[in-house]
Amino acid sequence: MANNLEICLSIIQFLDKKGPQTLGKIEISTITKADLIRKCLNLLIEQRLIEKTTNHNNQETYVNTDRGKKILEFFHVKF
C-alpha cells in the first residue's frame, strides 16, 4: 500500500496530466479509499499545492497550483 506522500504526489501528478478533476475521478485514478484521498486533498489544499474549484456543472473539482507543479519538478516526477 502506498504511503501518504506517494498518494499526495500521485494526486498532484494526475491533476497536472488531466487538469481539473472531481473527487470521484481522483479516487479512481489512485485506487485508494475515499477517506484517505480526502485527507490527502485537505493536506494538499492546506499546503496550497492544489485548489478546490467549481466547474460549469457546479461540481467541486481540484486543480494544481503553480506551487503544486513545482513540487512535481522537485521530486522529478515524469510522465
pLDDT tens sequence across 9-21: 999 999 999 999 9
pLDDT tier at 64 (50, 70, 90 boundaries)? very high
Q: At what angle do helices 4-18 and 34-46 cross, to 10 degrees?
A: 80
The half-sphere exposure of 72 on its side-chain side, counting CA atoms within 13 A, is: 19
Q: Is 27 exposed, middle or buried (0-12, 13-18, 19+ CB in 10 A)?
A: middle
Distance, in Å, from the CA atom of 76 to the CA atom of 79, rounded to the nearest integer, reads 10
pLDDT value for 79: 47
Q: What is the C-alpha to C-alpha distance for residues 47 and 57, in angstroms, rounded to an integer?
A: 27
- Report the alpha-carbon distance of residue 10 to residue 5 in Å, rounded: 8
List, in order of start, the domains of the chain with CATH numbers. 4-74 (1.10.10.10)
